[in-house]
Structure 1
Amino acid sequence: MVFEELAVRLNDKGYKNWLKAGHCLRILKEGLHVFTNTEMRAFHGDLLGQHAILRRPCQSSSCTAGSTRNKPSSVCAVCSEWRTVILRHHRQPNITVNWDNCRPSSWLHDHWEVAKAYMPRGQFRVAGADQCDASALLNLINHCDRFSSVDPKLVREVIRCRNELMHSCELRVEDEWMRHYQASLKMLLQRFNHVAEVASAAKRIQEMLVADWSVCVSRLDRVDAAHVDGLQTTDQWETGADLISQWEVELLQETLQELLHDTEAQHTEGLVRLKDFLQANRDLGEQFSAEIQALHSLGARGQGHQRTEEDEDQTI
């Protein structure tokens, strides 16, 4: 298989930076899985030990956490106490809590249902740490006082970088941004150097960020880069291209979902540019054909809605 289009994209320094930075987030979340799961399991056990009422089962199978700021829509006395305790351990108690992430009736038995109260919206179907993205785990560390030993400023700076990356309309970042991103990741990961999985992730991230990934297209496609994740890409470009292409598709899928789930971003420049980018690259256009068609339909509905509003304005 020839990867000429991928090679051209990787010769764009800004796009290569964007891709590498995005993959570092995936490495980061893998490093945090075991740590956050272990900590939240212990946190859950502590809550049960400290509050007798929490050891009682939910009194109604129909308890729902709701979605209106800090007020669940319908909970029993036991789940109401869970809510109070969860808020008590929130490092930013005045922030909007995404209660609709949670199944209150499962708070007694499932520590991860408690963890999801400290995360961004959209976590309802997520069953464990291994299914979370970097944003969810970083927000958990930032918001839950179980992680009070970690400076929230360091966590929030990585979250800020992550959000800038995922909402980059250009799908590219400059070298200066990358240097700041690398420094922010390093400072945060140093706080977890006692955790084996995080220390391993930190090493992989460092290797990823210093890898060259300069690409040449000749009779045999190849990439000149450092040894990354056990891959000698200089002599094994076919293998390297497969792996890099996989990372690229995963990051583009995550970016697309991020924009689609952000109601403020729908029908805006980000989605339009992402659609145009996918269409402009034949290999990506083939892989994302269904998504491109969905974006076309979304755009058509948006234009129809806009025309209806304009007609109504003229009528008035």
Structure 2
Amino acid sequence: MVHEELAARLNDREYTNWLKAGRCLLILKDGLHPFITHHMKVFHSDLLNQNPLLQKPCETSYCRPRGNKLLSACRVCSEWQRVILKHRRQPDTTVNWDNCVPPNWRTDHWELAKAYMPRGQAKVKGADKCDASALLNLINYCDCFRSVDPKIVREVIHLRNELMHSSELRVNDQWMRHYNTTMKKFVRQFSHLPDMASVGQQIDKMLTIDLSICVSGLDRMDSADPDGIESDSVSQWEPSADLISQWEAELLKESLQELLAAEDDDTKTQDPEQLKRLGGFLLASRDLGERFAAELQVISSLEAKQ
């Protein structure tokens, strides 16, 4: 039998809950890409059509944020800055100008989108390169997404943060029930979009499937299709152990990247114990220790400096 360590981890129900909830976020972000890209292109085009000054190029080509502040910008970039703030929900919250290259606001709708997103998006070139947090925050802060209830968006963001910041990588069944209800409310707002209807179905399947059984039934792996999904008389949708392992790695990688980025960012308060606990979790399983050897080395270096 292979994947013994994965099977052992999935015998912990609350860890499996964590993994399934995280996988739902990855499903959600993939479904949101077309919707968000379309809305941002339309929003960008509308701003240009409504304001002739925005149609002009940057007057210096050197307007750049310093730290997280955009100071001494030219007349055109200052107007972009004013318009961005005008269309920002919760205007008293921090705007991450360091995500942006202001001279590109005129020509690139995604450069505009990044002004409404969390820090760390400077090199991101499109919706398909973002994580769920970035896309949800964009919907929350930019008022071009008027068809989406911001209260529900903020609740999904809150649950996403609880999940990704879980020190033990575990959530209980009560949390999962609330998560399921909130995700359904969120996805329901996009019921008119075929892509999101499919997302809702995939999330429902993910939240109800027993991943521990999927991994235990390794004798059936030969029947998996090229996408790693097995179908038989017992289950109409059964992911292979390899696919579940891939999902787990994607989620753990995102959690690691977020924690390591926080360690490098003096503006964020991050409990170093959380990073230490995650490192300990990875080391406890040989397969994860090997997969994330580079990240574990970085964690060790950070601990040595403390």
Q: Same fold (TM over 0.5)?
A: yes
Correspondence list, 1:164-203, <5 A: 164-203=162-201
Cα distance, 1:149 vs structure 2: 2.3
Does 2:100 align with 1:102?
A: yes
Cα distance, 1:202 vs structure 2: 1.2
Equivalent residue letter for 2:185 = M
Correspondence list, 1:218-297, <5 A: 220=218, 231-232=229-230, 240-263=240-263, 264=268, 266=270, 268-297=272-301
Q: Distance in 1 between matches of 2:96 and 2:199?
A: 29
Where does residue 26 of structure 1 map in the other structure?
26
Superimposed CA distance per residue, residues 201-244 of structure 1 (whole angstroms, 9 cap, x where no aligned partner): 11111111111123388795669xxx9x8722778999701100
Where does residue 209 of structure 2 map in the other structure?
211
Larger deviation, residues 124-133 vs 259-268: 259-268
Q: Distance in 1 between matches of 2:215 and 2:15?
A: 17
Question: Tell me, what secondary structure is at the counterpart of 2:213?
Answer: strand
Q: Distance in 1 between matches of 2:40 and 2:130?
A: 14
Superimposed CA distance per residue, residues 180-206 of structure 1 (whole angstroms, 9 cap, x where no aligned partner): 001101001111111121121111111
Equivalent residue letter for 1:184 = T
Query: Aligned in 2, Cα 1:239/1:95: closer, same or farther, shift over 3 Å?
Result: closer
Equivalent residue letter for 1:125 = K
CA contact (8 A) 2:18 2:169 kept: yes
Question: Tell me, what secondary structure is at the counterpart of 2:192?
Answer: coil
CA contact (8 A) 2:228 2:239 kept: no
Query: Aligned in 2, Cα 1:147/1:185: closer, same or farther, shift over 3 Å?
Result: same
C-alpha RMSD over aligned residues: 2.4
Q: Distance in 2 between matches of 1:216 and 1:34?
A: 31
Q: How many residues align?
A: 296
Query: Aligned in 2, Cα 1:176/1:94: closer, same or farther, shift over 3 Å?
Result: same
Question: Tell me, what secondary structure is at the counterpart of 2:144?
Answer: helix
Where does residue 314 of structure 1 map in the other structure?
none
Q: Distance in 1 between matches of 2:196 and 2:177?
A: 20
Query: Aligned in 2, Cα 1:216/1:41: closer, same or farther, shift over 3 Å?
Result: closer
Superposition TM-score, scaled by structure 1 size: 0.88
Superimposed CA distance per residue, residues 117-173 of structure 1 (whole angstroms, 9 cap, x where no aligned partner): 000110000000111111111111111110122111100000000000000000010
Question: Tell me, what secondary structure is at the counterpart of 1:75?
Answer: coil
Equivalent residue letter for 1:176 = Q
CA contact (8 A) 1:29 1:134 kept: yes
Equivalent residue letter for 2:116 = Y
Query: Which of 61, 75, 78 is equivalent to 1:77?
Result: 75
Larger deviation, residues 17-26 vs 263-272: 263-272
Cα distance, 1:73 vs structure 2: 3.0
Query: Aligned in 2, Cα 1:217/1:187: closer, same or farther, shift over 3 Å?
Result: closer
Query: Aligned in 2, Cα 1:36/1:64: closer, same or farther, shift over 3 Å?
Result: same
Question: Tell me, what secondary structure is at the counterpart of 2:167?
Answer: coil
Superimposed CA distance per residue, residues 38-87 of structure 1 (whole angstroms, 9 cap, x where no aligned partner): 0000000000000000000011121113444xx41342110000000010
Superposition TM-score, scaled by structure 2 size: 0.91
Q: Distance in 1 between matches of 2:197 and 2:178?
A: 20
Query: Aligned in 2, Cα 1:3/1:85: closer, same or farther, shift over 3 Å?
Result: same
Q: Distance in 2 between matches of 1:36 and 1:217?
A: 35
**Unpaired stretches in structure 2, ≥5 consecutive residues:** none
Equivalent residue letter for 1:79 = C
Question: Tell me, what secondary structure is at the counterpart of 1:150?
Answer: coil
Equivalent residue letter for 2:128 = D
CA contact (8 A) 1:259 1:271 kept: yes
Equivalent residue letter for 2:23 = H
Where does residue 132 of structure 2 map in the other structure?
134
Query: Aligned in 2, Cα 1:8/1:216: closer, same or farther, shift over 3 Å?
Result: farther
Cα distance, 1:271 vs structure 2: 0.5
Equivalent residue letter for 1:206 = D
Q: Distance in 2 between matches of 1:27 and 1:219?
A: 24
CA contact (8 A) 2:228 2:243 kept: no
